[in-house]
Amino acid sequence: MNPRITTALLVAAIVLGGMLLYATALDRVPPYLIHDEAQGALHAHAIASTGRDQDGRLLPMYFSEPGFPAGRDPMMIYVTALGLQVLPFTEAGVRTPTALVAVLNIVLMFFAARAIFQNTWIALLAAALLALTPIHFIRGRLLLSPLYSIPFVLAWLWSLRRFEEHPSAGRFVAACAWLALGAYSYLGAIVMLPLYLLMTIAIAARSLGWRTTVLSGATFAVGLLPMALWYATHPARNAQIVSAYQLGAGSALLEALGSRLDLYWRFFDPAYLFVSGDPSLINSTRTAGLFPMAFAVLLPLGLIAIVRERRPMGWILATGFVTAPVVTVISGAIEMNRVMFVIPFAVLVATWGVWALWQNGSMRLKVVAALLIAAIAVQFAGFYRYYMGPYRTSAAPWFSGHVSDAMRELIARSGGDAIFISREIEWADPAWRFAAIEAGRADLISRTTHFSAPPAAAAPGSKAMCPAESAQCAAMAASGAWHEVIRVPAIAGTPTLAILERTARAQ
C-alpha cells in the first residue's frame, strides 16, 4: 500500500479512537465545571459573541477577572471561542475544543515518534501510550489552559528531529517558531520554552554555526512581539503575576534553590507518578498515577538506552523529562498545572524503553515488552471504568456539583422576579452566569444580587438561594418573610442548597 495512504488511515484511526475516548460523555464526566473552567467559558462566550471580553476590550491578549487581574492565557480562550461558533454553550460544548486538542496531541505524538524512531508501528505505540496516560486523559476533558502547551512541545520535537535529519535554516526556524507560539498557551511555558530553545540551539549549532543565534533571536522577536506590546502597554501585569503566584524576589529565589529543591525530588516520587497521582480529585481518580504503572519500568529502561545510544534527540527527551518540575520548584508547590510539560517527554522516553527491549533481539525481552504494553491497556481499562462510573460521585465535591444543579433548578423556577444568591456559596457568580447563558436566560444576570446579609428589600415572588444548613438560610426561613421551596442535594447527597421564595408579607 502507498505509504501516504497508510499514514492517512492510521491518522484517521487515531483521531476516531481519540474522539471516542476523550469527547464521549463530557456532559456527565467530569461531573460539573470548576470555577476556572466556568471563567474560561464565559470569556470564550464573550469573544465568540461580540469579539470583546467581559470588560468590553476588543480581542485582548489576556483576560482579567475579579480576583485574578493578571488574566488568563489566550490560547485556550480563543480556541474555545472558535469552537463555540458551531458548538452549544453547555458544559460538554465548552470542553469539546480541549478534548480535540488532546486528540491533536495524540496525532502529533505519532508524527514526532515516527520521526524520532523511524518506525511507523513504534510511532503508533507512542500515540497509544499518550492516549492511555491517565493524567493526559483527565486533563484532556477539562477546560484548562496547561494542556494547550503540549501541542507546541510535540510540534517542536517533530520539527527538531526533521531538522536533525536534514539540517536547513527553514526547519530550524520552524522549530523555534513552535516554541515562540507556545508562549501564548500557558504562563509556565514562558519559563520552559526558553530552556527548550537552548536545546534547539545546541542541536543546530554544529550545522548552522553562528546563524542559530540570529535565526532563533529573530524568530522569537517576531513571535513574541504581540506579547511584548501587551506587557509594554499593561505594565501592572508583572506585579499581578508575582502577586497571583506568590513569587517573592531574591528570598524566594534562594528558597527555590535551597529548601524548595525537595519539591524537585518529591515530583519523582514513584507513588505520585505511578500509583496514586495528584491529591486533587480534579486531576486524579486516586486509582492510578499520572502515568501507567508500567512506566515505572519503561522510563528507567528508556533513560538507560538513551545514555547508551548517545543520540542528540535522546538527550533532548531525557533533558525535557528531568527538567519538567522546574516551574513547580520556582512556584514552591507541586501543582499539576505546572508539571504538564513532563507528559510528552515521559511518553517518548517510555517508548524508547519499549524500543530498546524490542531491538535487543532476545525473544524473552520481546515478551517482556509485550507484557508491559498489555499491562498498560489492562490498567487503563480499569481506570476508565472507574472514571466513567464511581468517580463522578466521589469527585463531585471537588467540582461543586450541587451548585450547578441548584442553579438550574432556580432558573427553572424564575420568571421576571429578582434573584438573590448567598455569598456563602463559593464561586457562585461565574457558575450562575454560566448557567443563565446556558439556559438562554442571560436576562437573569442583571436581576441577580449576591448578598452577605439576608435581603430586606425584596419584592414578593423574589427567589433566593443559600446553603440549606447555614444559619443565614435558617434565619431567612424563620423570619416568615421567606419560605423554602425546595432543597437540591449534591450528587452524593450532601451538602444541599435551598431555594427560597419571598412571601407576600412577613408573618
Residue 185 has pLDDT above 70, yes or no: yes
Q: Each residue of 414-425: pLDDT tens digit? A: 888 899 999 999
Provide the whole-model pTM: 0.94
* Cβ atoms < 10 Å from Cβ of 216: 23
392 and 147 Cβ atoms separated by less than 8 Å: no
Alpha helices (H) along 23-90:
35-50, 74-83
490 and 401 Cβ atoms separated by less than 8 Å: yes
Residue 431 has pLDDT above 50, yes or no: yes
Residue 252 has pLDDT above 50, yes or no: no
The SS3 call for residue 463 is strand
Q: Each residue of 444-499: pLDDT tens digit? A: 999 999 998 888 788 999 999 999 989 989 999 888 899 999 999 888 777 789 99
Residue 260 has pLDDT above 80, yes or no: no
276 and 286 Cβ atoms separated by less than 8 Å: yes
The SS3 call for residue 91 is helix
241 and 68 Cβ atoms separated by less than 8 Å: no
Name the pLDDT band for 245 (thresholds 50, 70, 90). low
